[in-house]
Structure 1
Amino acid sequence: MTSLFRHITFDCAEPHEPYELAEFWSRVIGHPVDPQAEPGDDEVVLEAPAGQPTLLFMRVPEAKTLKNRVHLDLQPDQPRDEEVQRVSALGAAIVDDRRQPNGSGWVVFTDPAGNEFCIERSAAERAVAERE
């Protein structure tokens, strides 16, 4: 027997609302916020394509105090540097820039609630690097 991923859950503590954080992530990955969700809800889900886990944003009483032990690594469908600019404009903050002169590497961000995630190279950029 095995288990499947159902949700990837993000904790949200004051002043961050689950609905607001879900809207941020909806703009990042393009999955819609559950149409039944409303501002003020304690739990908000981003809908996902069939077979993929949903992102769940849940209100918790305590603030984040340490580095995440698990985080998302995102592979954009456009060049990494363009995605870095786009996600920054949406409100994410760069924590660490690990891009290398040869084009490898990634950029570490925090979302508005302080959850870390990384933007890696696109599949097209990886393919070019493999041919070189």
Structure 2
Amino acid sequence: MRVQHITVDCASPYELASFWSVVTGWPISAEDSPGDDEVLLEPPDPAMAELLFIRVPEPKAVKNRVHLDLVPTERTRDEEVDRLTAAGASVVADQRTPEGRGWVVLADPEGNEFCVEKER
């Protein structure tokens, strides 16, 4: 088995995919445009799962049961948190420790949680 998509239910697929494109650096599929009910982010490696954003009528109501843990590759964790909050994310929980370890839980513009871990 191979994971084809990680799917995110949302109200505004193109807008949310645009946010996640900033987060990941992955482009929105050339086949997708504003107003589409499904919008795909294409990863740089075809072996990786794609991110698929699908319009649903109901709003997010509870905490995510599955979320992404992201590790910075070009910046520090703290620089990424600053970059992502400037792009529209909000801080849900700050789990950074005085020793510099830990992670930050963020929410995307529709409230879906994800974590930014310490760079390696």
TM tier, shorter chain? over 0.9
User: Within 1, Cα distance between the matches of 2:119 and 2:67?
Assistant: 18
Partner of 1:108: 105
Aligned partner of 1:7 among 5, 8, 11: 5
Partner of 2:28: 33
User: Within 2, Cα distance between the matches of 1:35 and 1:91?
Assistant: 23
Partner of 1:73: 69
User: Within 1, Cα distance between the matches of 2:18 and 2:61?
Assistant: 23
Q: Which runs of 5+ in 2 are unaligned?
A: none
Partner of 2:18: 23
**When the two structures are superposed, what TM-score results if normalisation uses the length of structure 1?**
0.87
| CA RMSD in angstroms, aligned pairs only | 0.7
Partner of 2:88: 91
% identical equivalent positions: 58
Aligned residue pairs total 118
Largest Rg, 1 or 2: 1
Q: Which runs of 5+ in 1 are unaligned?
A: 124-132
More helix by share: 1
User: Within 1, Cα distance between the matches of 2:64 and 2:79?
Assistant: 25
Q: Once superposed, which parts of structure 1, at least 4 consecutive aligned residues long, lie more than 2 Å away?
A: none
**When the two structures are superposed, what TM-score results if normalisation uses the length of structure 2?**
0.96
Q: CA deviation at 1:40?
A: 0.6
